[in-house]
Amino acid sequence: MKLITAIVNKKDAAGVCGALRKEKFFFTKLSTSGGFLGEGNTTLLIGVEDEQVKGVLEVIRLHCQKRMEPMPAIMGAEAGYPAFNYTAAQVLVGGATVFVTNIEHFEKF
């Protein structure tokens, strides 16, 4: 069994969750925020049998897009951007960041 931890952009969360539900995958949705940008994102914990991993990754891939997001002004300053250019600083965020880990033991009580 595997645990898939998927960090997705909050703009994609509804689409991914809807598709996972439709495909009858069990998951837990956490409200999280990125350590770098400090923006809200969504972390999904999805426990599946090994042979289902590919299907889950496909759902995530289909519903998550890469986007340019603005960098907070204070970070622009720290990164050496001149004041007039703070708002122009952007970083590429997502699709999704996904970790797949082995589960040693699983039970539901």
Main-chain dihedrals φ then ψ at residue 62, nearest 5 degrees: -70, -30
Report in angstroms how near the CB of residue 89 gets to ligand 2BA at its nearest.
Answer: 11
Q: Are 7 and 41 in contact (CB under 8 A)?
A: yes
Residue 68 touches ligand 2BA, criterion: CB under 6 A: no
Main-chain dihedrals φ then ψ at residue 23, nearest 5 degrees: -85, 5
Residue 95 identity (one-letter amino acid): G
Maximal CA-CA distance, the chain: 58
Binding mask 69-98 for ligand 2BA (x = CB under 6 A): ----------------------xxxx--x-
Report in angstroms how near the CB of residue 13 gets to ligand 2BA at its nearest.
Answer: 13
Cβ closest to ligand 2BA, residue 4 vs residue 107: 4
Q: Are 92 and 68 in contact (CB under 8 A)?
A: yes
Cβ closest to ligand 2BA, residue 24 vs residue 42: 42
Binding mask 25-64 for ligand 2BA (x = CB under 6 A): ---------xxxx-x-x-----------------------
Work out whether the CA dihedral 46, 49, 55, 61 comes out positive or negative.
positive
- Residues contributing to the site for ligand 2BA (CB under 6 A): 7, 34-37, 39, 41, 91-94, 97
